[in-house]
Chains A and B, each alone.
Chain A
Amino acid sequence: QKEVEQDPGPLSVPEGAIVSLNCTYSNSAFQYFMWYRQYSRKGPELLMYTYSSGNKEDGRFTAQVDKSSKYISLFIRDSQPSDSATYLCAMSGDSGGSNYKLTFGKGTLLTVNP
């Protein structure tokens, strides 16, 4: 079983739709959870960061972490064509002391059609 699983998509939605992106993980020591957005041929940019379980909202974006299920989600409300990108989940907090290393999902390619 891979440490982090992420559905690669591609996911295609109409403008204005609610988008749900998800990752599951196997390492129960993960405590820090991130979502990065990567436009084509660009470096990833940090979108959301959460610590432990719970929700965090920032504008149209909501990140959820459920540590009991080892499941994290990113919701995008009122999706826009400018949201078209690859979304990468990342996490860290290995109890072995390597909390400086991020483990990434493979990314989900999202297209929002006008």
Chain B
Amino acid sequence: DGGITQSPKYLFRKEGQNVTLSCEQNLNHDAMYWYRQDPGQGLRLIYYSQIVNDFQKGDIAEGYSVSREKKESFPLTVTSAQKNPTAFYLCASTWTHQETQYFGPGTRLLVL
């Protein structure tokens, strides 16, 4: 089945802990994105990557890090520097020069 997968569905973080959210796609998409969704806030862009081994900060990159070692994978690390990490995290992908983006099912991150 083609698609975008995110894991885990739920993730719990302890104070001072780094956690990594997985995003994988088998759609042969070039570009991948990470968004954060908070109630009443809409989707806010954290990081994006248009090509392997290259990525750019979005609007709210502080406290997050990413890597793009493979075309299919774009993991997001929520570091201990992110003081308010509780949110719904969405990964998206698309082809180069394609305006529409396609979303994964999301990961809900909660702080213990």
Contact = CB atoms under 8 A, between A and B. Distances in A.
Interface residues of B, number: 22
Dominant secondary structure of chain A at its interface with chain B = loop
A36 B92 CA distance: 13
A46 B102 contact: yes
Interface in B91-108: 99-106, 108
B90 A44 contact: yes
A67 B8 CA distance: 41
Categorize the interface residue count of chain A. Answer: 20 to 34
Interface of A: 6, 8, 32, 34, 36, 41-46, 49, 88, 92-93, 99-102, 104-107
Interface of B: 4, 6, 31, 40-43, 45, 48, 50, 58, 88, 90, 99-106, 108
